[in-house]
Amino acid sequence: MSIYVVPCCDSESERGVRAQLSALTSRMTRHGPCGEYAASQPTWRLWGEERVDGAIYTVYLKKVRYHRPTRSASSESDDEISHLEWETVRVRFVKAGTVERLVEALATDDGELESTYVNVFLATYRSFAECSQVLDLLLRRYEELAMDDVLPAATDTSHQHRKTLVACLHVWLDTYPEDFRQPPHHPALQQLLAFTQLHLPGSELHSKALQKLALFSAERNGVAGGAAGGAGGGAGTCLAAGMRVPAHHTSAYRLPHVPHRHFAEQLTRMDMELFKRLVPHQCLGAVWSRRDKDRSHDAATVLATVNQFNAVSFRVISTVLVEPNLRPVDRSDILASWLDIARELRVLKNFSSLKAIISGLQSNPVYRLRKTWAMLSKEKAELFEELARIFSEDNNRWAQRELLMREGTAKFADTVGENDRQLQKLLHERGSPGVSNGTIPYLGTFLTDLTMIDTAIPDTVADGLINFDKRRKEFEVLAQIKLLQGAANAYHLPTDPMFDRWFDSVIVLDDREAYQLSCQIEPPTNPPKERRQKKIIDSNNHGHRKNDSIASTSSSNSSQFYCETDGAGNAWKRDSLERRISPTRLSHGSSSSSIPSLDVSLSSANSGQKPANGKIPGMSPAYPNARTGPDFYIIRVTYESDCVETEGVVLYKSIMLSNNERTPQVIRNAMLKLNLDGDPDGYTLAQVLPDKEMVLPANANVYYAVNTAYNLNFILRPRRNQQDEAIVNGKAKNKRT
Amino acid sequence: MREYKIVVLGSGGVGKSALTVQFVQGIFVEKYDPTIEDSYRKQVEVDGQQCMLEILDTAGTEQFTAMRDLYMKNGQGFVLVYSITAQSTFNDLQDLREQILRVKDKDDVPMVLVGNKCDLEAERVVGKQQGANLANHFNCVFMETSAKAKISVNEVFYDLVRQINKKSPKEEKKKSNIRKPICQLL
Ligand SMILES: Nc1nc2c(ncn2[C@@H]2O[C@H](COP(=O)(O)OP(=O)(O)O)[C@@H](O)[C@H]2O)c(=O)[nH]1
Ligand SMILES: [Mg+2]
């Protein structure tokens, strides 16, 4: 049988391979390569399974049409049809095998490149083998074949086979260069170089490997950069000292009166950067949902996306709640404003931030504000329903999957349901947009699918063979992600650093804080009685349990602040910092601030302008049952450093202050927020008043000590030593650079 | 047929997805396709009545924290899962339960406390009595299960159905227009 039975491919050039990948992925449906062919192609028939040593194959019979081999390829004349013939061929797909067999299968029996298989293999091999092991096997296979060369009969296939292996290496280097990074010594790359030096000197592969090595070493030495987009190399969104700007600029970005389209574009820009940087195989169930602490970095790009999603939701929640005294009608304007932004996100096909906003609006602290929602106009309420419907969990998120399928690679949004009146109106108004947009999916659906595949399908089959069909199944999902990543290049969005600054300046509330604020705005109708009781019993019977609230920092770590330039690595560091610190904090008995929230707020110290996150008075007396939430304020603390004065701008972090917290505890909270280590006794805390500072006594009840007639802005500074005593009012030395 | 929306909650790694898959697919795990419409749905008979259970598994999205409220809002019954081999997963549940009660704005919500991985007796760190005590505080049913050894998995879901029936016996006809799977494999 001499017919190419796999989707054939020009193994001479990698471009052919890449074209194959895109052809493959664009064809991708919900069914696996095997299932897909079997189901949709009447000429394919399942024959059965074939077992050989170390591998199991699924075998199909396929009827193919082909040109008579005797005819020359150029004869595309009118009598072409008459030379078509049918033949039945057996097609084998690896179902399971040892690593050795799986590597062998990168080339077909005829030595041809099987592009689908190569793509699946390279996308998923990390779940069953190390990079070095696969490389080793690949190179050894090449060498074995090269030895065969002496036998004249085998030469053709063997030659072809080796060409295929080289093509695989090209695809690997091009598609997954990260595999070869392995700092500091890049052992796999070195091994590859040694190999090409010996067997393929002067080849394209050799120079490609050399280039990669040069790139990696340059990066290691901090010379170059940029090209590889490693973690932490993103565009600056943090408030580097030199980038600070006067606060009044950010006041243009104050909900509800914000440019909706612009906001949607900026959110999309942020999402797009993260999505393009996403490494699809980090989404695999074996990596993302089985990762433990040691392997957390394995899923860093996924985590970055999740953190951004949460960050958007938190901003929705806090902007709605943070001003407790707004009239319902004014607060509903904020809801409406987010809905307008969401609507624009729909047009931009950014389903990630769109869902994040909807989730924020549907979060309990916001959703329960009946009076506020009641003030929303009919159109806006309808819009909300329609947008929420996109993400309905019904029928395994059918609506969303369908939409993604239809619009994923389309140029612009054009799908609305027949009941979606507001969205119909929107698309009608906009007509066909001049520019085309990419698509940003809500990643969670893919993560769930991959997690469930990983859970449901075993890694190995009989005799411990690696279950490659599982990898095919996973690849279907990965291919969709890759496809959408490619489509995301269609976005052309401006960068507005002011937006980033606004984004970073919004306070982040954790679950409890948000709920407390919400209850302050609208007291609960059904005061919970049992919950209090239970806690008491609980601490009796479970004295050995540290504290149930500790859990909240690990499982419901809602307050994780994400800042892009931090890179995911730092996000994790903070996370672990929170974990490490929270038990200490809890032991001081402040339940209201048991979950640290990391956030930054920016405002001018002297402008006298009322900050967006101003003080929040204690809870309303309308609901006297104090257990729903103790009184608290949100105060803002800055660390005194040289740059505080330089530009008239102060970098504040917000913390909760509840009515039983004393000075050392508040200082400790502030230190946590400001990422300061050390002994709280080494610091003083002072409220900034218009004409002076009020230093808090060492063990005051801060809640009662603060002057609530003014903004609750505080300065934390190291306690002065004797020799520093002479330096007055905020000019004390500090060790920070 | 009445539909029941069940939410499975708990820390990562306790076996939520394993329980879901085990319940929904039973022995036919090899055919499981999580991307089709009815992959989280199962029809069962409880006390002589046909019920359609739809399981909302938060698998893989545990860290999308803002979405948890929505799961909770939509859920009628809750499976709170910990692993008997990890104390921290047990401790996490208190907060989850509080969040459920807040979101539901009720003190009493159909719920089962589940200590999973009971096949791993040798690695047990959370005692059975501890689980029972917590269930007592939660005022809910407690079961130890093994998704792996298929112990008590169905019972968890059946019990929830009974609880939901008891709490809202009248809520009969929610439209049962269950769409056919769109891409049924042969
Ligand atoms: N021994 C044992 N392992 C289990 C059991 N249930 C789940 N696991 C394993 O625990 C790990 C996490 O399970 P998974 O369902 O993904 O947990 P999830 O993160 O809560 O969804 C997987 O390796 C499962 O195979 C069980 O009942 N017994
Ligand atoms: Mg899971």
Pairwise pLDDT comparison (A720 vs A259), residue with the higher score = A259
pTM value is 0.70
Alpha carbon of B5 to those of A451, A717, B64: distances in Å?
A: 20, 53, 20
Q: Specify the pLDDT at position A112.
A: 80
Compute, in angstroms, the gap from residue B59 CA to the centroid of ligand 2.
4
- Calculate mean pLDDT across residues A686-710: 82
What does the CA dihedral A529, A535, A538, A542 come to, rounded to 10 degrees? Answer: 170
Q: pLDDT for A125-153, tens place per residue?
A: 998 999 999 999 999 999 988 887 666 65
Which of A301, A303, A320, A455 best probes binding to B when mutated, by most B CB atoms within 10 angstroms? A455
Pairwise pLDDT comparison (A619 vs A550), residue with the higher score = A619
* Across A224-228, A288-292, A376-380, A635-639, least confident range: A224-228
Tell me, yes or no, if A648 comes closer than 8 A to chain B by beta carbon: no
Q: Give the closest ligand to the alpha carbon of residue B117.
A: 1
The per-residue DSSP string of chain B comes to -EEEEEEEEESTTSSHHHHHHHHHHGGGGGG--TTSTTTTEEEEEETTEEEEEEEEE-TT-TT-GGGHHHHHHH-SEEEEEEETT-HHHHHTHHHHHHHHHHHHT-S---EEEEEE-TT-GGG--S-HHHHHHHHHHHTSEEEE-BTTTTBSHHHHHHHHHHHHHHH-TT-------PPPPSS---
Q: Please give the biggest Cα pair distance in chain A.
A: 103
State how far the Cα of A479 lies from the Cα of A446, in Å rounded to an integer: 11
Tell me, yes or no, if A568 comes closer than 8 A to chain B by beta carbon: no
Which of A352, A548, A555, A558 best probes binding to B when mutated, by most B CB atoms within 10 angstroms? A555
* Across A232-241, A286-295, B64-73, least confident range: A232-241
B17 lines ligand 1 (CB under 6 A): yes
Q: pLDDT for A203-213, tens place per residue?
A: 999 999 999 99
State how far the Cα of A275 lies from the Cα of A287, in Å rounded to an integer: 18
- Calculate mean pLDDT across residues A192-211: 93
> And the tokens for A539?
């601490």
Q: Cα–Cα–Cα angle for A550, A553, A555, nearest 5°?
A: 105
Pairwise pLDDT comparison (A83 vs A545), residue with the higher score = A83
Tell me, yes or no, if A447 comes closer than 8 A to chain B by beta carbon: yes
A202: left (phi over 0), alpha (psi -120 to 50) or beta: left
Whether residue A508 is predicted with pLDDT greater than 60 in this model: the reply is: yes
Q: Which helix (H) or strand (E) holds A396?
A: helix A394-407
Residues of B in contact with A470 (CB under 8 A): none
State how far the Cα of A114 lies from the Cα of A117, in Å rounded to an integer: 5
Q: Specify the pLDDT at position A581.
A: 29
Query: Closest Cα to residue A296, out of A584, A569, A539?
Result: A569
Q: Specify the pLDDT at position A646.
A: 37
Per DSSP, the three-state class of A3 is coil
With b for 16 or more beta-carbon neighbours within 10 A and e for fewer, the A610-643 pattern comes to ebbbbbbebbeeeeeeeebbbbbbbbbbbbbbeb
Whether residue B136 is predicted with pLDDT greater than 90 in this model: the reply is: yes
State how far the Cα of A193 lies from the Cα of A215, in Å rounded to an integer: 14
Contact A356, A313 (CB under 8 A): yes
Query: Closest Cα to residue B70, out of A307, A351, A362, A342?
Result: A362
B14 lines ligand 1 (CB under 6 A): yes
B115 lines ligand 1 (CB under 6 A): no
Long-range pairs for A395-401 at CB < 8 Å and ≥24 separation?
Answer: A395/B37, A395/B38, A395/B178, A395/B179, A396/B34, A396/B35, A396/B36, A396/B37, A396/B38, A396/B39, A396/B40, A396/B41, A397/A445, A398/B37, A398/B179, A398/B182, A400/A351, A400/A442, A400/A445, A401/A445, A401/B35
* Across A331-335, A382-386, B33-37, least confident range: B33-37
Cβ neighbour number for residue A253 with a 10 Å cutoff? 21
Tell me, yes or no, if B43 comes closer than 8 A to chain A by beta carbon: no
Contact B22, B150 (CB under 8 A): yes
Q: Specify the pLDDT at position A42.
A: 53
Query: Closest Cα to residue A63, out of A89, A34, A83?
Result: A89
Tokens 């089709």 correspond to B36
Q: pLDDT for A26-67, tens place per residue?
A: 333 333 344 434 344 457 788 889 998 899 999 988 887 665
**Beta-carbon separation of B60 and A444 below 8 A:** yes
State how far the Cα of A110 lies from the Cα of A107, in Å rounded to an integer: 7
The shortest CB-CB distance from B94 to any of A524, A530, A551 is to A551
Q: How far is B175 from chain A (nearest CA, A)?
A: 13
Q: Specify the pLDDT at position A63.
A: 80
Q: How far is A546 from chain B (nearest CA, A)?
A: 8
Whether residue A304 is predicted with pLDDT greater than 80 in this model: the reply is: yes
Q: How far is B157 from chain A (nearest CA, A)?
A: 19
- Calculate mean pLDDT across residues A466-482: 92
B15 lines ligand 1 (CB under 6 A): yes
Q: Specify the pLDDT at position A81.
A: 52
State how far the Cα of B50 lies from the Cα of B41, in Å rounded to an integer: 13
The shortest CB-CB distance from A448 to any of B60, B70, B74 is to B60
Pairwise pLDDT comparison (B179 vs A55), residue with the higher score = A55
Strands in A84-97's sheet, in edge-to-edge order, are A44-52, A55-67, A84-97, A466-467
How much is the CA Rg of chain B, to the nearest whole Å? Answer: 16
State how far the Cα of A111 lies from the Cα of A114, in Å rounded to an integer: 9
User: Which parts of A117-196 are beta strand (E)?
Assistant: none
**Beta-carbon separation of A455 and B18 below 8 A:** yes
State how far the Cα of A401 lies from the Cα of B179, in Å rounded to an integer: 14
B163 lines ligand 1 (CB under 6 A): no
**Beta-carbon separation of A30 and B33 below 8 A:** yes
* Percentage of residues of chain A with pLDDT beyond 70: 63
Q: Specify the pLDDT at position A10.
A: 31
- Estimate the crossing angle of helix A131-148 against helix A187-199, to 10 degrees: 10
Query: Closest Cα to residue A716, out of A641, A640, A650?
Result: A640
The per-residue DSSP string of B106-128 comes to -S---EEEEEE-TT-GGG--S-H
| Cβ-proximal residues to A428 (8 Å cutoff; 6+ apart), any chain | none
- Per DSSP, helices labelled H in A176-259 are 187-199, 204-220
Using pLDDT thresholds of 50, 70 and 90, give the confidence band for residue A360. Answer: very high
Tell me, yes or no, if A362 comes closer than 8 A to chain B by beta carbon: yes
Q: Specify the pLDDT at position A736.
A: 40
Work out the burial of residue A296: count CB atoms within 10 Å of its CB; fewer than 13 is exposed, 13-18 middle, 19 or more buried: middle
Whether residue A737 is predicted with pLDDT greater than 70 in this model: the reply is: no
**Beta-carbon separation of B60 and A31 below 8 A:** no
Q: Give the closest ligand to the alpha carbon of residue B120.
A: 1
- Calculate mean pLDDT across residues A193-215: 93
State how far the Cα of A480 lies from the Cα of A473, in Å rounded to an integer: 12
Q: pLDDT for B102-124, tens place per residue?
A: 899 888 899 999 999 999 999 99
State how far the Cα of A455 lies from the Cα of B19, in Å rounded to an integer: 10
Contact A447, B34 (CB under 8 A): no
Q: How far is A531 from chain B (nearest CA, A)?
A: 7
Phi, psi of A299 (to 5 degrees): -120, 30
Tokens 């093994």 correspond to B146
Strands in B111-116's sheet, in edge-to-edge order, are B41-46, B49-57, B2-10, B77-83, B111-116, B141-144
Tokens 């190995």 correspond to A460
Using pLDDT thresholds of 50, 70 and 90, give the confidence band for residue A580. Answer: very low
Tell me, yes or no, if B32 comes closer than 8 A to chain A by beta carbon: yes
Residue of B nearest to A536 (CA): B137
Q: Specify the pLDDT at position A442.
A: 92
| Cβ-proximal residues to B46 (8 Å cutoff; 6+ apart), any chain | B158, B161, B162, B165
Residues of A in contact with B183 (CB under 8 A): 29-31
Compute, in angstroms, the gap from residue B148 CA to the centroid of ligand 2.
14
Per DSSP, the three-state class of A174 is helix
Q: Which of residues 135-164 of B touch A (CB under 8 A)?
A: 137-139
Pairwise pLDDT comparison (A83 vs A581), residue with the higher score = A83
State how far the Cα of A418 lies from the Cα of A431, in Å rounded to an integer: 17
| Cβ-proximal residues to A569 (8 Å cutoff; 6+ apart), any chain | A231, A232, A297, A300
Q: How far is B4 from chain A (nearest CA, A)?
A: 12
- Calculate mean pLDDT across residues A619-630: 36
Contact B99, A388 (CB under 8 A): no
Whether residue A154 is predicted with pLDDT greater than 70 in this model: the reply is: no
Compute, in angstroms, the gap from residue B13 CA to the centroid of ligand 1.
6
State how far the Cα of A414 lies from the Cα of A426, in Å rounded to an integer: 10
State how far the Cα of B103 lies from the Cα of B72, in Å rounded to an integer: 7
Tokens 């990696």 correspond to A216
Ion ligand 2: protein residues whose beta carbon lies under 5 Å: A 289, 451; B 17, 59
- Calculate mean pLDDT across residues A592-600: 30
Using pLDDT thresholds of 50, 70 and 90, give the confidence band for residue A415. Answer: low
With b for 16 or more beta-carbon neighbours within 10 A and e for fewer, the A23-62 pattern comes to ebbeebebbbbbbbbbbeeeebeebeeeeeeebbbbebeb
B55 lines ligand 1 (CB under 6 A): no
> And the tokens for A500?
């980033």
- Calculate mean pLDDT across residues A395-418: 67
Pairwise pLDDT comparison (A388 vs A84), residue with the higher score = A388
State how far the Cα of A162 lies from the Cα of A155, in Å rounded to an integer: 10
Q: pLDDT for A516-539, tens place per residue?
A: 899 999 988 765 554 444 443 333
Q: How far is A723 from chain B (nearest CA, A)?
A: 48
> And the tokens for A714?
């505080």
Phi, psi of A52 (to 5 degrees): -125, 175
Using pLDDT thresholds of 50, 70 and 90, give the confidence band for residue A243. Answer: very low
Q: Specify the pLDDT at position B38.
A: 64
Contact A55, A98 (CB under 8 A): yes
Phi, psi of A142 (to 5 degrees): -60, -45
Whether residue A547 is predicted with pLDDT greater than 60 in this model: the reply is: no
Q: Specify the pLDDT at position B81.
A: 96
Q: Which residues pair with B42 in a beta bridge?
A: B53
Q: Which residues pair with B6 in a beta bridge?
A: B55, B77
Query: For residue A678, what is the DSSP state?
Result: S
> And the tokens for A541?
């019977």
Please measure the distance between the N-terminal and C-terminal CA atoms of chain A and give it in whole angstroms. Answer: 73
A289 lines ligand 1 (CB under 6 A): yes
Q: Specify the pLDDT at position A109.
A: 73
How much is the CA Rg of chain A, to the nearest whole Å? Answer: 31
Q: pLDDT for A436-472, tens place per residue?
A: 778 899 999 899 889 888 888 889 998 899 999 999 9
